[in-house]
Amino acid sequence: YIAVGDQGAAKRRKLDSDGTSLLQDPRLKAQKEEADAALLKLQDLLHEVFEAEDRIEPGLASGAVPQESLAMFRTAHALEVHGPILNSETHSRLQKAIQKVVGFNRLQDIPSEYLTRIQRLCEGPLLSAQTLDLGLEDATNDAQVQTWLQKLEDVHITFSAIGTLFHTVSGRRSEVDLCPEDLVQAIPNVLNRVFDHCIIPAVEARPSDKDPHFFQLVSREKKLLGNLIHEARKLLGLLATFLSRIEVSEEIITATEFMATKLIFVENAHNDRESAIGFQKYEAVRRGAMDVIAKIFSKYPSQRSFILDEILVSLEKLPSTRQNARQFKLADGKSIQLLTALVMQLVQTTTLDSPASRKSKTKTRLPVFREEDDDELALGGGENVESDTEDDLLVSRPSLERLARHVDKLYDNAVRNAQYIVKFIVQRAMTSTKTGDQPFRNILDLFTEDLISVLGSTDWPAAELLLRIMASHMVGIAELDKSPANAKNMALELLGWMGSGISDLTATAQHLASGMDDTDVQLTDHLRQIFDDHIRHALDVEALIAPDGPYRVALEYLQDRYPDNWQLTNARGYYVVQWAKTVVTAYYSGSGANDQANHKILNELLGTLPHLMLDPKWLETNRYG
């Protein structure tokens, strides 16, 4: 050893002053090594697949396909494809390897021609499956049954191919260039065929059918069909994510809408005894279809009227008795009507303003508004700024006027859709009775009960808006002299339920407030004070809209639970718009607008709300201590 004096300390200080901690370097280096290893593993697997494919043609000509190729490929039973196709195990290996590389944001390091070649391997079974006959005429005919089961094996491989295709376009690169339109168009066609001729008949089969043999066959092959349903659910999730990111033709969107709407209203059994495959298996597909509809609803505003009409005209297909209707399970274990969950999700979705729904696809970190910026700017000045879009101006030069324009559009969308839905159901219910053939009165009762039951849940903030609109309709019916007696009785009954529900919620909130966790004493005391002020009708709007107030707490709570959950994402979007709408209303009404302290709060809000509306993940890196 030799003495080096203070040189080492000086060198360490210099390294640290560059913002790179010596403690972090090993972790960063390890992460890069892990990413490089994942990239190398994927490249090796791709080479292995391509080499196996290159040996197939000569092997077919000579009548001896090499064993290495047989381990990765197999012969299709019924699909009209040239040569062997990739087997499910190979697809699974490819998907896991691609997913690992995508997780490190390194898919762009894979040559495009490699991914294109993998897509060509997926192309054959996908295009051929569009015309695959999956019908089964006689479930007692062993030969027909065996052929049908072989076709289902081909369908399973086709689903694997679709999954691999989606994975090849899941990285942050030019997805449009890597996304052949004819393949994407074939995906809803294949899913539709499999659902129509295989999965839906299996789900709707009952032991009491005139021909119980199909039920018995499905029960016997429930593992095979269960796996197929599970794969179909995964593909619906991948399709929903894909459609929310990539612009596709209207033909593809329309085909997907019809398919998803149909899946939502399939008549499932209500218990395992009546179901050949287990009644819970299909409910995951139903939720997947709801996610598809919600993401199309969010990204394509021009499709919203069509989607709402399709859903509302299908209401008669819903079970309308209490013991059978509530098949949508909530996070807390309760169950509500499928219609209620779907309607709330769609209303919340209309407030989303994510980058995927705007023309600009660039995802850049936008500048944060600073307190020291000119006060005049916060109140509406600063128009002479070069910017590409109104969204850029909203963040780079925030003003109350711009915020108002932006939030009014989003909030009005939610209100209009909520009004349309409530008006449709109420008008149908007014002309039907609880004991009549038409189920609309029972559906309305269930709908109202469900909204009341989730009124206190952070997951479903649209329940309050729907109940408010519902109450307005009921008051109008009750006060109108020309309203029929049945309609007035209905209105008074539902208003009574709402009043009772609000009282129960208030009592529950009082009980919860007294037993709140005191881990964060300051936050707990703050929330208790806000609730006490609310109970005494003395709550100031400034306390409600404060940058670190209850809206922010609710958003961070939802973010911490399931950051990538789509339903909670649209719940967060709804809260942000509701928060911004309350801010705009408060300051335009003159509530503290000229007070210096409130003016500072406004500046803080203008530095927060635009980011929250334009970037759903902004909270992850911008939290209060």
Residue 325 pLDDT: 62
Where does the pLDDT of residue 455 fall: very low under 50, low under 70, confident under 90, or very high at 90 and above? Answer: very high
Query: How many other C-beta atoms lie within 10 A of the C-beta of residue 350?
Result: 26
User: For residue 25, what pLDDT band results from cuts at 50, 70 and 90?
Assistant: low
Q: What value does the mean pLDDT take over residues 226-240?
A: 94
- Report the pLDDT value the prediction gives residue 10, as an integer from 0 to 100: 39
pLDDT, mean of residues 581-605:
77
Residue 307: pLDDT band (50, 70, 90) is very high
Task: Quote the percentage of the chain above a pLDDT of 70.
Answer: 81
Closest CA to 361 of 104, 174, 563: 174
- Is the model's pLDDT at 234 over the cut of 60? yes
> Average pLDDT, stretch 599-614?
87
Considering Cα of 553, then 554, then 559, then 560, what sign does the dihedral take? positive
- For residue 329, the cross-strand partners are 335
Q: Which residue shows structure tokens 């008549």?
A: 267
Q: Please check the confidence at residue 375 and state whether its pLDDT lies above 60.
A: no
Asked whether residue 431 carries a pLDDT value surpassing 50, the answer given is yes
In this predicted structure, the answer to whether residue 558 has a pLDDT above a threshold of 80 is: yes
Cα–Cα dist 69/71, whole Å: 5
Is residue 24 over pLDDT 60? Answer: no
For residue range 76-103, list pLDDT tens digits in order.
Answer: 999 999 888 999 999 999 999 999 999 8
- In which band, very low, low, confident or very high, does the pLDDT at 355 lie, cut at 50, 70 and 90? very low
Question: pLDDT averaged over the chain?
Answer: 83
Residues 505, 507, 512, 514, CA torsion sign: positive
590, pLDDT greater than 50: yes
Give pLDDT tens digits for 389-414.
667 777 777 888 999 999 999 999 99
pLDDT of residue 562: 75
The pLDDT of residue 176 is 47
How many Cβ atoms are within 10 Å of 515's Cβ, its own excluded?
Answer: 7
On whether the CB atoms of residues 255 and 189 are closer than 8 A, the answer is yes
220-229, 252-261, 325-334: the lowest-pLDDT one? 325-334
Question: So what's the pLDDT on residue 372?
Answer: 38
The predicted structure's pLDDT at residue 62: 56
Average pLDDT over residues 11-25: 43
Rounded percentage of the chain residues whose pLDDT exceeds 90: 45
The pLDDT score that the predictor gives to residue 322 is 55
Backbone angles phi, psi at 182, to 5 degrees: -65, -35
Encoded tokens for 572: 């967060």
Confidence of residue 321 (pLDDT cuts 50, 70, 90): low
- The predicted-structure confidence for 540-554, as pLDDT tens digits, reads as follows 888 889 888 899 989
471 SS3 class? helix
Any residues with CB less than 8 A from the CB of 459 and at least 6 apart, and which?
A: 330, 331, 558, 567, 568, 571
Residue 382 pLDDT > 90, yes or no? no
Q: Which residues pair with 336 in a beta bridge?
A: 328
Reported confidence tier of residue 437, pLDDT bands at 50, 70, 90: low
pLDDT for 223: 93
Does residue 387 have a pLDDT over 80? no
Q: Which pLDDT score, from 0 to 100, does residue 374 have?
A: 39
- Comparing 156 with 620, the larger pLDDT belongs to 156
**Res. 69 pLDDT band, cuts 50 70 90:** low
β-bridge partners, 74? 85
Q: Is the pLDDT of residue 361 over 70?
A: no
Segment 157-193, tens digit of pLDDT: 999 999 999 999 876 544 445 667 888 999 999 999 9
pLDDT the model gives residue 398: 80
- pTM score, whole prediction: 0.80
**Averaged over 349-377, what is the pLDDT?**
46
pLDDT band at 263 (very low <50, low <70, confident <90, very high): very high
Say how far apart CA 93 and CA 588 lie, in whole Å: 58
Q: What is the SS3 string spanning 529-598?
A: HHHHHHHCCCCCHHHHHCCCCHHHHHHHHHHHHCCCCHHHHHHHHHHHHHHHHHHHHHHHCCCCCCCHHH
Per residue in 113-129, pLDDT tens? 999 999 999 999 999 99
- pLDDT confidence of residue 7: 45
Residue 74 has pLDDT above 70, yes or no: yes
Locate 42 and state its tokens. Answer: 């994927």
Number of H helices, E strands in the chain: 28, 4
